[in-house]
Structure 1
Amino acid sequence: MSNQPYRTALVTGASSGIGAAIVGRLRAAGIAVHAVARDKQRLARLADDTGCTPHAVSVADHDGMAEIAKTVEIDILVNNAGQSRTGNIADTTAEDIDALVDVNLRAVLKLTHLVVPGMVRRNRGHIVNISSIAGHYAFAGGNTVYHATKAGVHSLSRQLRCDLYGSAIRVTEISPARVETEVFGRLIGDMEEAKRRFFDEYESLLPVDIADSVAFAVLAPQRMNVSFMEVLPTMQVVGGLNFAKKSADPA
Structure 2
Amino acid sequence: MTVLGGPTVVLDLAGLRLITDPTFDPPGDYPVGERRLTKTQPSSWTPAEVGDVDVVLLSHDQHPDNLDRAGRTFLSEAPLVLSTASAATRLGGTVRALGAWETVDVPGTDGRALQITGVPARHGPEGTEHLTGEVTGFVLHGDDLPTVYVSGDNASLDLVAEIAGRFPKIDVAVLFAGGARTPLLGDRFLTLSSAMAAQAARLLASPSVVVVHTEGWSHFTENAATVPDAFAAEGIADVLVPAPFGRTVRLG
TM-score over 0.5 for the alignment? Answer: no
Higher strand share: 2
* TM-score between the two structures when normalised by the length of structure 2: 0.38
**Which of these two proteins has the greater Rg computed from alpha carbons?**
1
Higher helix share: 1
